[in-house]
Amino acid sequence: MAISRPAAKASRALVTARLYCVRRRGHNLASTVGTDAEELTGYWKALSEGATVIEELATSAWSPLYGMLKDRFGVTWVLDLAVAY
């Protein structure tokens, strides 16, 4: 199993989300934890095109925004809005 934790970067905008990926034969998971609801919602809209939504992006018991989907390439994405503890 390989785990990578690259810092998210963009050339024209400040990106506040962090991407965590786990790759294992037959299993692909990407977890994005963001601090900006608008940015996270934008990612959700882009990723959900042609995807199978497992859990709609909405308020959960542990996060103001949480959602899970499997994109058209078979990668499962978990999106979370970070909260201060």
Instruction: Render the chain in DSSP notation, one character per residue.
Output: -EEE-PPP--SSS----EEEEEEETTEEEEEEEES-HHHHHHHHHHHHTT-EEEEEEE--SS-SSEEEEE-TTS-EEEEEE----
By percentage, how much of the chain surpasses pLDDT 70?
A: 68
pLDDT, mean of residues 19-33: 66
Structural domains of the chain, ranges and CATH numbers in brackets: 2-81 (3.10.180.10)
pLDDT in tens, 28-64: 778 878 888 998 999 999 999 999 999 999 999 989 9
Residue 21 pLDDT level (bands cut at 50, 70, 90): low
Output 22 or 62, whichever has higher pLDDT.
62
Q: Are 32 and 17 in contact (CB under 8 A)?
A: yes
